[in-house]
Amino acid sequence: MMDERWLVTAFTLREALRRGGRVLTAPFRLFSPSLGRGISDRMVIAPQDLRTTDPTIASDIYAGYFAFAGKVVSTEGRSPFEMHAPDAAWSEELMSFGWLRHLRAAETALARANGRALVDDWIGSCRRPRGIAWETGVVARRLISWITQSPLVLEGADRDFYRRFMKSIARQARFLGHVLDRCDCPERRLTAVVALCYVALATQGPLKQVRRTAQRLASELERQILPDGGHVGRNPAVLLDLLADLLPLRQVFASQGIDPPQELLNAVDRIGPMLRLFRHGDGTLALFNGVARTPTDVLATVLAYQDVRAQPMENASRSGFQRVQADRALLIMDVGPPPPRDYSGQAHAGCLSFEFSDGMQKILVNCGAPPPGFDRYREAARGTPAHTTLVVGETSSCSFAPSARLAWPRGAPVISGPREVACTRETDERGTALSASHDGYSALGLRHDRSLFISADGRRLEGVDALVVTSEPRAAKAAETGYSVRFHLQPGIEAFRLESGEGVMLRTPDGTRWFFESQDVPAQIEDDLVFAVPDGARRTCRIVLAADRATLPALRWRLFRAEAD
């Protein structure tokens, strides 16, 4: 295998050349048809916003307090768009205007006037297309927010404001159409196309323009949504945001009497069951590949809006995930390779990791991704040690591009990782068995094999994790490799070493007891952090089984529920 330093150098050079090529060809794109042209000067429809609201936030905004990304800024009578932002994440949320929905929920003349004044303030303050306010994803989110919340902004508005508002929407849409192909983040590029569809339909633009925009949306959806409903970037949170945008868009097509592209209908039908695959009993999403804290209210809303009778997908082979429901116990496992490089900016090195829950209580989890504004934890969150799986030393099964060399729009991409990931599933009256493997440690001459079995009654989970020496040239060194299997506990789970020293007792907040044990090595309890929380990190603990491959190439373990007293 190519030395990792050469791999990083070659990858960095390729990215620099690609970005340089975009700069050189930019003048020629000015003469190509833009998706943002032909916008009407009137608003004819306001799509529904499915994201939940909190009218109390309207009072905070009126008082000059803007709380975004874990930071609070008091404007003290000044414009929030002229304040010094505490970080980029705070600025993105401010400039995206998603908070307008809270003002609309207040249903007061004061909130409407405040929202209109803030929109007008932005129009006057941020005319020049520069900075975070004009980043592709932020412009797209702002257009969606302005259009969905246009009843708040336009009710009672005078003619001059109406003209400024529509003129700004048209200008932002033209800008978005020009920069669309230069966007390095595929997820934001897809959001931008959705926003342009919102604009074209809500302003009743020319039918030709609507169809061109719908065609571009169809091609992006076909490129990014897999046949089983997963996103090519393998981040479940992307599916939630996308479905919250696509469901109202589908309705707008229907209300305007225009047939939506078939790819839009297919995506909506497929994403719902896929989101249900990742959903635990407590309503949160499993923490894979960039999922931070789940907005459970939004998730419940979009799933109910789609089809309350739909069943979760269980075997998502194209996306690389498995779901096993056994009575009230649930196992969700990552059995896929990392996504393609261009889509891997949020991907984690969590191949063969899993999460396990009992009813509404999560027990074993991954550490998840920190929310916006807590980037200092992001590198640690992406590594294999932050996942419930086997780790060779402290080495991740994926290598990430160094973030210091190039400015990545949504995180450093994966430049190497597992290529061969296999999984088989068998179910009988006793339960379900999953057998999987990945070659992410092939540079060390090793392969990770993992077998899991969950009983039909959900009371017992058994596993075997093995390091298998392959025929790689460095296989001789692999025989002496130390490794560990980590089991990260959901915050709130109490862990106690048994007096015998052979296992660990877990107690959930509702008093249910589970026992973890391994016959091969003692189970250790260590301090741990979970990152998918509002403050970016929360203390918990983990169970660790550690061994050396020379003396113990496989570790067997089991987790079982105690009988009720």
Q: In this structure, are residues 339 and 230 in contact, taking their beta carbons and an 8 Å threshold?
A: no
In this structure, whether the domain defined by 329-561 belongs to CATH 2.70.98.70 is answered with: yes
Share of the chain above pLDDT 70, in %: 89
Q: Provide the edge-to-edge strand list for the sheet that holds 446-455.
A: 421-427, 431-438, 446-455, 460-469, 554-561, 513-517, 503-507, 494-497
Q: Under DSSP, is residue 67 helix (H, G, I), strand (E, B) or coil?
A: strand
C-alpha to C-alpha distances, 361 to 86, 297, 541, nearest whole angstrom: 35, 18, 16
Unique residue bearing structure tokens 């402290």: 394
Q: In this structure, are residues 268 and 250 in contact, taking their beta carbons and an 8 Å threshold?
A: yes
pLDDT at 12 over 90: no
- Give dist(CA 413, CA 348) in Å, integer: 10
Residue 39 main-chain phi, psi, to 5 deg: -80, 135
pLDDT value, residue 348: 97
- Give dist(CA 417, CA 161) in Å, integer: 53
pLDDT value, residue 11: 60
Q: Under DSSP, is residue 459 helix (H, G, I), strand (E, B) or coil?
A: coil
The H or E element spanning position 429 is none
User: Looking at residues 5-14, what average pLDDT do you find?
Assistant: 59
Cβ neighbour number for residue 487 with a 10 Å cutoff: 25
Q: State pLDDT tens for residues 149-193.
A: 999 999 989 999 999 999 999 999 999 999 998 888 899 999 999
Show the CA angle centred on residue 185, arms to residues 22 and 373, nearest 5°.
125
Strand partners, 356: 331, 364
User: Looking at residues 334-351, what average pLDDT do you find?
Assistant: 95
Q: State pLDDT tens for residues 513-554.
A: 999 999 899 999 999 999 999 888 999 999 999 999 888 999
Q: Where are the domains of the chain?
A: 41-182, 184-308, 329-561
Q: Under DSSP, is residue 358 helix (H, G, I), strand (E, B) or coil?
A: strand
pLDDT at 475 over 70: no
Looking at per-residue pLDDT, the higher value among 499 and 564 belongs to 499
pLDDT at 109 over 70: yes
- Give dist(CA 408, CA 347) in Å, integer: 13
Question: pTM (2 decimals)?
Answer: 0.91
- Give dist(CA 465, CA 484) in Å, integer: 9
Q: State pLDDT tens for residues 431-449.
A: 999 999 999 999 888 999 9
Question: 374: which 2 tokens?
Answer: 């807590």
Q: In this structure, are residues 380 and 386 in contact, taking their beta carbons and an 8 Å threshold?
A: yes
Confidence of residue 306 (pLDDT cuts 50, 70, 90): confident
- Give dist(CA 231, CA 118) in Å, integer: 35
Q: State pLDDT tens for residues 195-214.
A: 999 999 999 888 898 999 99
Span of 95-109, 130-144, 379-393, 394-408 with lowest mean pLDDT: 394-408
User: Looking at residues 27-39, what average pLDDT do you find?
Assistant: 51
Strand partners, 486: 544
pLDDT value, residue 26: 44
pLDDT value, residue 32: 43
Mean pLDDT estimate for the chain: 90
pLDDT at 329 over 70: yes
Show the CA angle centred on residue 335, arms to residues 334 and 340, nearest 5°.
90
Q: State pLDDT tens for residues 258-270.
A: 999 999 999 999 9
pLDDT at 242 over 60: yes
User: Looking at residues 300-306, what average pLDDT do you find?
Assistant: 88
C-alpha to C-alpha distances, 487 to 145, 154, 264, 462, 564, nearest whole angstrom: 41, 53, 39, 13, 24
Share of the chain above pLDDT 90, in %: 76
pLDDT at 385 over 50: yes
Q: What is the dihedral of CA 45, 50, 54, 58, to 10 degrees?
A: -30
Cβ neighbour number for residue 509 with a 10 Å cutoff: 12
